[in-house]
Amino acid sequence: MIRAIRACKTAAEERAVVRKECASIRAAVSDNENDYRHRNLAKLMFIHMLGYPTHFGQMECLKLIAAPGFPEKRIGYLGLMLLLDERQEVLMLVTNSLKQDLNHTNQYIVGLALCALGNISSAEMARDLAPEVERLLQFRDPNVRKKAALCSIRIIKKVPDLAENFVNPVASLLKEKHHGVLLTAIQLCADLCMISEEALEYFRKKCTEGLVKVLKDAVNSPYAPEYDISGISDPFLQIRLLRILRILGHGDADASDLMNDVLAQVRFGSNGSNGSIVRKSPKMFLLRVMYTDGPSDLPKFWIWSLVFQKYIDDPCGLHFVTHLVPDFFQKYMNGPCGLHFVTHLVPNLDMLKPLYNFSGD
């Protein structure tokens, strides 16, 4: 079929080939053929990606999902995620199959069910299957735990009332050594903090110190081929950690004080090396880290001075400074901390001229 479609020279020829294949698949569906059901569904997915209607094959997805074998379930779940969405009423019929597969002894089938639930779950499905997903956050296999955490993100977005059920399991996941699980746990933690003030206070008290230690270990870690990218040890994890620390430190002086040392270390890299994600992307770092008020901001002011020293001559750095720093000065210049910043930490006040030129003063 694919060769025939690619050989078509006009849209009319392509439509004729698709009509013929769809008629053949409809006949197979009517005859309830089991031997070629998975192949027919694969054809339907290709036709769907070309933009043609394939609604008549939705029930075939459910039949393949209900099959006992992994190959059939794989095609069935792939078709389910591609041909259906959360607005389809047919989706409610698959809830029981999903529940059975989430409790399956084969971890790969469990992973298929989690992927499908994380992609197309409706609010009703999320409410019904949340206990199974919560249990899988403690599963023995790290890949299943990672997928369960990603699935939990969709569940709490669809049903925010369930957020409190995931707080304790997420606190355990934040102690993981597996970087994939840790990445997803940090994202889940961030979403929980945005949804629930109680979760934010809990993570701030229980997990801030541990996350600071994880970031410090990531910065100081030796070369590891599986995580190293251009001399940086797992930059994706470092960025996620900076983002969650920004959330936990916002408006809390104690949590911010815990982060000051490691943020300075991240800025310079390990032992003065060039292996810090912040050294590679200082604008990302500053956007995520400058967040608190009060005297504890002095280390942050010091970081700003480093930006002026290093990036004021760089066109990209100048664009960053002129567009983002005015709001910062407007907020802090009337306070003692802002005065300290200008008089002690900016090495040359001529560096501030671009700001005045930009603002029109």
Residue appearing with tokens 């027919």 = 40
Lowest mean pLDDT among 57-71, 76-90, 124-138, 335-349: 335-349
In this predicted structure, what is the pLDDT of residue 102? 92
| Position 353 pLDDT exceeds 50 | no
Cα(307)–Cα(253) distance, integer angstroms: 23
Cα(73)–Cα(179) distance, integer angstroms: 28
Cα(168)–Cα(137) distance, integer angstroms: 10
Report how far apart the first and last C-alpha atoms of the chain are (Å, whole number).
68
Which CATH number characterizes residue 178's domain? 1.25.10.10
Domain stops at, among 292, 325, 346: 292
Asked if 32 and 109 sit in the same domain, the reply is no
Cα(164)–Cα(183) distance, integer angstroms: 20
By residue range, what is the domain housing residue 343?
Answer: 301-361
| Position 355 pLDDT exceeds 80 | no
In this predicted structure, what is the pLDDT of residue 269? 56
Residue appearing with tokens 């009509």 = 19
pTM of this prediction exceeds 0.75: no
Structural contact between residues 116 and 79, judged by C-beta atoms closer than 8 angstroms: no
- Sign of the alpha-carbon dihedral angle for 26, 29, 31, 34: positive
| Position 341 pLDDT exceeds 50 | no
Complete DSSP assignment for 190-218: HHHHHH-HHHHHHHHHHTHHHHHHHHHHH
In this predicted structure, what is the pLDDT of residue 281? 47
The mean pLDDT of the chain is: 77
Asked if 90 and 200 sit in the same domain, the reply is yes
Asked if 352 and 242 sit in the same domain, the reply is no
Give pLDDT tens digits for 307-332.
Answer: 554 444 454 454 544 454 555 555 55
- Number of domains, the chain: 4
Cα(69)–Cα(54) distance, integer angstroms: 24
Domain stops at, among 53, 84, 115: 84
Give pLDDT tens digits for 138-180.
Answer: 998 999 999 999 999 999 999 999 988 999 999 999 988 888 9
In this predicted structure, what is the pLDDT of residue 40? 86
Domain stops at, among 84, 119, 145: 84
Separation in Å, CA 158 to CA 102, 162, 183, 252: 19, 9, 21, 29
Asked if 72 and 104 sit in the same domain, the reply is no
Q: Across residues 275-295, what is the average pLDDT?
A: 45
By the 10 Å C-beta count (0-12 exposed, 13-18 middle, 19+ buried), 230 is classed as: exposed
- Largest Cα–Cα separation, the chain: 84
In this predicted structure, what is the pLDDT of residue 356? 41
- Higher-scoring residue by pLDDT: 334, 12: 12
- Read off the amino acid at residue 202: Y
Asked if 218 and 244 sit in the same domain, the reply is yes
| Per-residue confidence band for 265, with pLDDT thresholds at 50, 70 and 90 | confident
What is the tally of helices (H) and strands (E) in the chain? 21, 2
Asked if 90 and 201 sit in the same domain, the reply is yes
Asked if 92 and 200 sit in the same domain, the reply is yes
- Higher-scoring residue by pLDDT: 309, 194: 194
Helix, strand and coil in the chain, % to nearest 5: 75, 0, 20
For the ranges 36-50, 281-295, 303-317, the one whose mean pLDDT is highest: 36-50
Asked if 190 and 258 sit in the same domain, the reply is no
